[in-house]
A and B are shown apart, each in its own frame.
Chain A
Amino acid sequence: MSVEHVEARSGAYADSVTLMQVSRRVASTAGVDAALVAMGSELNLDLLDGMRFARPATAGPNDLIVALRAQDDAAMAAGLAVVAEALAARPNPSGSFAELPPRTVSAAARATGPALALISVPGQHAFTEAMDALDAGCDVMIFSDNVSVEQEIRLKDVAAERGLLVLGPDCGTAVVGGIGLGFSHTLDPGPVGMVAASGTGAQQILCLLDAAGVGITAALGVGGRDLSAAVAGRSTRAALAALDDDPATELIIVVSKPPADDVAADVRAYAQTLRTPVHFALIGAGQPDLTAAAEQALTALGADVPTWPTWAGRPDQPRSGSLRGLFAGGTLCDEAMVIASQRLGPIGSNIPLRPEWRVDAKKPAAGHTMIDFGDDELTAGRPHPMIDQTLRLERLAAEAQDPATSVILLDVVLGHGAHPDPAGELAPAIAAMGDDVAVVVSILGAKADPQELTEQAGALQLAGAHVFTSNAQAARFACDLIEAAR
């Protein structure tokens, strides 16, 4: 006889990533069958319905919902204890005479002076916090998405008036002063500055430069929309100016999907006016891939282009069938599709190269497909797949069962913000596969990343995966296997 507990705690709040981690922890408690700890947004209340919990009578978006189903009272008590422990407030400085923690960015800046504000609040609140940060004289990195394009333009115009920089919105990565922000890496200081309208695209190039022993001055993410016709490169220009002004930056790389034509022309014209040479790494058909862009930059700097590290796996000869890509990084998925579509033909995807190639990411695949698990549709109500691989692991198992699957292509992104041990979750699933399916992995990591690149790659190799540090090489190798098996 199972027992249920549903409550709405008013006045309690925690961020969604924390709560999703709490939910997972509680759900994995012995004797707990289901658990949802989440703010009472409409989305989460729908989730609650889906889990067959009764909605609390008065739950609003500012109430914390705690819903558990357990096998008996003892298990329920254990589950609730885990909730209590996981949600226990971080202790404030002791004693009531102590300063209180600031409640807004401007209050923090008033106490300490302007700093770089890192905003990752829910999207509908991000504009307000970012504007407050600019008011306080702070440069701003906005990790949050769901900020309207009008708001983005307003923030970037205000920043320009005040000599400040807005990174984002939807800025996944940045490295400033040697500190990795968002999803990022520990990198040596060096001659390269980066402006990135693509998070994982930038991470690929940064990790390849790291493998070649070349460090960076800074990597400035500007948000995926910055080079659109509407935003017109506002932050790209400001970031280029800041890097050009930095004497340590010898070469600048701009990473982006192909921008709107007139924006591209404007930004290129602006780049010509700078003292520092600017390379463009644009992801798309007819463009050099990210690995080639990294190699061009190395050559321009007079550095050696190394052989990109790989770890050989098995088998060399999978059965005949389809290529199935399961990606956490949207740009990496894009790059792999550009390469594979030239060799194998149409690639179905939830972020298709052509509209007619669109497939439903939640349905079983047919033919060659590549799914971006970081796409908004698959991240609503759950953390990014670089943090939480649950959905991708489920899909990986399903693809392995599909007799039409020949090769599975995965990306693994290491670094700050990412899962502490992605290989630890992927390797058992890969090892469990039969010898007729090959797994090819592109791994993005810097030597000094906390997850230990070589250990992660080694664990995947041991499980049977072919591991590449170049995403383009991984995609080509996957195509080689498919073609050889025909």
Chain B
Amino acid sequence: MTDLLNRDVELITAGVDLFADAAQLQAARVIRVDWLPPMPGTETDLAAVMADPRRTAANAEAVRRVQAARAMLVDVVPARDALGLGPRDILHAGPPIDWARASGPLRGALMGAAVFEGLVEDPDQTAALVERGEITLDSCHHHHAVGPMAGVTSPSMWVFVLEDPATGRRTYCSLNEGLGKVLRYGAYSPEVITRLRWMSAVLGPVLQAAVRAQGSVDITAILAQMVQMGDEGHNRNRAGTLMLLRELVPAMINTDFPSSDIAEAARFVGGNDHFFLNVGMPACKLALDAARDIPGSTMVVAMARNGTDFGLQVSGTGNEWFTGPALTPEGLFLGEYGPEDANPDIGDSAITETAGLGGFAMAAAPAIVRFVGGSVADALANTRRMYEITLSEHDMFAVPVLDFRGTPLGIDVTKVVRTGILPQINTGMAGKVAGTGQVGAGLVTPPAEIFPAALRALAGSTTF
């Protein structure tokens, strides 16, 4: 029974101000909702999904599974073994795409990978092979993997292996190459290929030996700590990188590799502030994959971009991608690059926002707010705004400046459609011409229309 008659009356009002005013005049405590109509044309689908009797329990279960997931780094291996890739299979970020629609940086990265794998001698031969089907493309997400920016992962590249010990579920991500002219930003010059060869020949094996000697490294624990050390896990991973290095260096030193290789590996990892991104991302995916395929759940389980399309996957709608044109980020540019040089949004790294990090944890990373074009107050406002569209707050990712409130977790399609507030994504910017590399970093959102599309599919799946 309601206890309405046994407590002091507090009101939450949505709608006509007159009634809120009248209650306030009677000295009632009134919290006014700043209500606005939902995205146009969505009211029928919203009502259908809100009426779905499975929804609240399904979303609670989705959140529970994300919170319960624990990501352990358990191995480092070549992608061909872990992901079951044939010699001509190459994975990329975002929803599936063919060569004709692929953007410059994705094409550049595919060209570099084709050279790296010895499939072509001249990068320009890559297009013909892909178009003839002699190189096959697929989404990282279809293989339990994620990749930042172009996300290109080929059989000879090494990948981190993350595992949730409770379920045995695994996810994968390539090793981070650093900043500037790198494959994931679409560069494919000889220096890029040389670095990739060293990573496969030295870095991967050294890390493998260290991780295997160590047993495992608790990545979820590092994520929780780094959020309290000024990282948001997407555009800033400095603390996370150093904590990972701290875990691995003793074991690295104890391996049988030449000390020069160990020193070079340690210098490479420690000198790349983004090295941790490629273990943070699969940790996020591991948690979100646990929440997939719960009938009736309106929670987003993946946001991913291929440089042309922005794709969304939702727990209650299985593996269907809801796609729209990727937007171009706004932010700051390196050197003489400007907005006209930037490619539309690219990469699987929005998995961090999907899991409550990145733009959602912006309040935790005041050091980079200016880099992504804003003030500390904007960063606080960003994180606070994301609570409006999420189902819960992260149990482990606590934001000091918000009094250790957990980061906003679990994007709810219905809340995005109702409020019109789009997920805020922190991101790097790739040059739109293949081979350019990174041109800047900034902020971006998904295209709004993919959320009503996902809502429509959820409405079609209701049983009420």
Contact = CB atoms under 8 A, between A and B. Distances in A.
Interface of A: 13, 15-18, 60-62, 95-97, 99-113, 115-122, 124-125, 127-129, 131-133, 135, 138-139, 143-144, 151, 154, 163-165, 176-182, 186, 217-218, 238, 241-243, 245-246, 387, 416-417, 450
A151 B47 contact: yes
Contact of A116 (B9, B15, B32, B38): B9
Contacts of B100: none
Given A104-B388, A118-B14, A120-B15, A416 B26 contact: yes
Interface of B: 1-2, 4-20, 22-23, 25-26, 28, 31-38, 40, 43, 46-47, 50-51, 56, 375, 377-378, 380-381, 384-385, 387-388, 414-415, 418-419, 421, 464
Nearest to A179: B28
Nearest to A416: B22
A128 B19 contact: no
Given A116-B10, A116-B12, A450-B25, 7 more contacts: A122-B15, A128-B418, A129-B35, A131-B50, A139-B4, A177-B8, A180-B22
A102 B388 contact: yes
A128 B46 contact: yes
B377 A116 contact: no
A18 B17 contact: yes
Nearest to A248: B5
A164 B2 contact: yes
Contact of A138 (B12, B16, B378, B381): B12
A132 to B, nearest CB: 7
A17 B15 CA distance: 10
B47 A128 contact: yes
A115 B388 contact: no
A70 B311 CA distance: 51
A101 B12 CA distance: 12
A245 B47 CA distance: 33
A403 B375 CA distance: 73
A302 B59 CA distance: 54
A99 B17 CA distance: 20
A96 B26 contact: no
B25 A104 contact: no
A139 B2 contact: yes
11 contacts: A61-B37, A97-B377, A97-B380, A102-B34, A112-B12, A112-B31, A139-B4, A177-B7, A179-B11, A179-B23, A245-B5
A116 B4 contact: yes
A129 B43 CA distance: 11
Given A103-B421, A151-B51, A108 B33 contact: yes
B1 A143 contact: no
B31 A100 contact: no
Nearest to A110: B387
Contacts of B26: 178-180, 186, 416
A122 B37 CA distance: 9
B16 A17 contact: yes
Contacts of A246: 5-6
The 8 closest A-B pairs by CB, nearest first: A120-B15, A177-B9, A96-B377, A115-B10, A416-B22, A120-B16, A121-B15, A101-B34
B14 A121 contact: yes
A37 B17 CA distance: 17
A370 B421 CA distance: 48
B12 A109 contact: yes
A387 B18 contact: yes
Contacts of B10: 112-113, 115-116
B385 A100 contact: yes
A246 B2 CA distance: 11
Contact of B1 (A16, A127, A238): A238
Contact of A103 (B11, B36, B375, B464): B36
Contact of B11 (A99, A115, A238): A115
B359 to A, nearest CB: 16
A121 B13 CA distance: 10
Contact of A104 (B20, B37, B385, B419): B419
A121 B35 contact: yes
B113 to A, nearest CB: 44
A417 B298 CA distance: 38
B37 A62 contact: yes
A117 B14 contact: yes
A217 B12 contact: no
Nearest to B16: A120
B377 A115 contact: no
Best-buried of B47, B385, B421 by chain A (most CB within 10 Å): B47
A103 B33 contact: yes
A357 to B, nearest CB: 34
A202 B192 CA distance: 79
Contact of A118 (B20, B36, B46): B20
A97 B47 CA distance: 34
Nearest to A39: B37
B2 A100 contact: no
Nearest to B43: A124
Nearest to B47: A127
A176 B4 contact: yes
A119 B51 contact: no
Nearest to A165: B2
Contacts of B50: 127-128, 131-132
Contacts of B7: 177
Given A246-B6, A417-B19, A135 B56 contact: yes
A103 B40 contact: no
A18 B47 CA distance: 25
Given A15-B16, A416-B22, A101 B33 contact: yes
A113 B38 CA distance: 24
Contact of A107 (B15, B56, B378, B388): B388
Nearest to A132: B50
A119 B23 CA distance: 13
A115 B56 CA distance: 19
Contact of B14 (A99, A129, A242): A129
B15 A165 contact: no
A245 B17 CA distance: 33
Contacts of B40: 60-62
Contacts of A116: 4, 9-12
Contact of A243 (B5, B38, B384): B5
Contacts of B32: 101
A97 B366 CA distance: 13
A226 B147 CA distance: 55
Contacts of B36: 13, 103
Contact of A100 (B18, B51, B384): B384
A242 B9 contact: no
B23 A118 contact: yes
A113 B415 CA distance: 19
Nearest to A157: B53
B23 A181 contact: yes
B12 A133 contact: yes
Contacts of A121: 14-15, 35
Best-buried of A103, A120, A127, A144 by chain B (most CB within 10 Å): A103
Contacts of A182: 19
Contacts of B34: 101-103
Best-buried of A99, A125, A135 by chain B (most CB within 10 Å): A125
A122 B50 CA distance: 17
A104 B18 contact: no
A163 B1 contact: yes
Contacts of B419: 103-104
A95 B377 CA distance: 9
A99 B16 CA distance: 22
Contacts of B22: 180-181, 416-417
Contacts of B418: 103-104, 128, 132
Contacts of B38: 125, 128
Given A13-B37, A62-B37, A108 B12 contact: yes
Nearest to A121: B15
B6 A120 contact: no
Contacts of B43: 124-125, 128
Contacts of B377: 95-97
